[in-house]
Amino acid sequence: LEANVVLPGYLYEPEYGLALRSLDAFLFLVPGSDGTCRAVREAMALGLPVLATRRGILPELVGGGDEYGPAGAVVAESVEQLATTLVAWHDDADRRAELGRAAARRVDESMDPEQAARRLLAFYERLSAER
């Protein structure tokens, strides 16, 4: 596994974009200070399956409990589960591609700013109707 995993640390443009485009999958363990997990959304937009832990918004972004299906996998913070998933993805390019397509579709369809604005407006309309 070590021959196939790269840990580059923090990258700036253009290296960041180039690095994302060179990946087969994206591993994201802890949301850190960016509660929206922008890096995960960027990876998903590029069609990368995401392996994430059950922290913050990660399960919602990646988990697939909706019509879009999973955009990767959400696992416990366990070395064994992380390794098992990475090895399984390494050995199954078709599954990686399927999850990557689902990830890109999720971003295209559910994270579109216009759709988000419509959903927010509908939410506020429901709130005001309940008053």
Identify the DSSP state of 68: T
Under a CB-based contact definition with an 8 Å cutoff, are residues 50 and 72 in contact?
A: yes
Question: For residues 65 and 72, what is the distance between their CA atoms, to the nearest angstrom?
Answer: 12
pLDDT of residue 42 exceeding 90: yes
Nearest to 74 by CA among 34, 31, 116, 104: 31
Cis previous bond, 14, omega within 30 = yes
pLDDT tens digits, one per residue of 43-83: 999 999 999 988 888 888 887 655 556 889 999 899 999 99
pLDDT at 2: 74
Nearest to 102 by CA among 25, 49, 60, 53: 49
pLDDT at 87: 92
Across the range 89-106, mean pLDDT stands at 93
Q: In this structure, which CATH number among 3.40.50.2000, 3.40.50.1220, 1.10.10.10, 3.40.50.620 belongs to the domain 2-130?
A: 3.40.50.2000
Read off φ and ψ for residue 78, nearest 5 degrees. -135, 125
Parse the chain into domains and list their residue ranges: 2-130
Given pLDDT bands bounded at 50, 70 and 90, which one contains residue 1? low
Question: Identity (one letter) of the amino acid at 72?
Answer: G
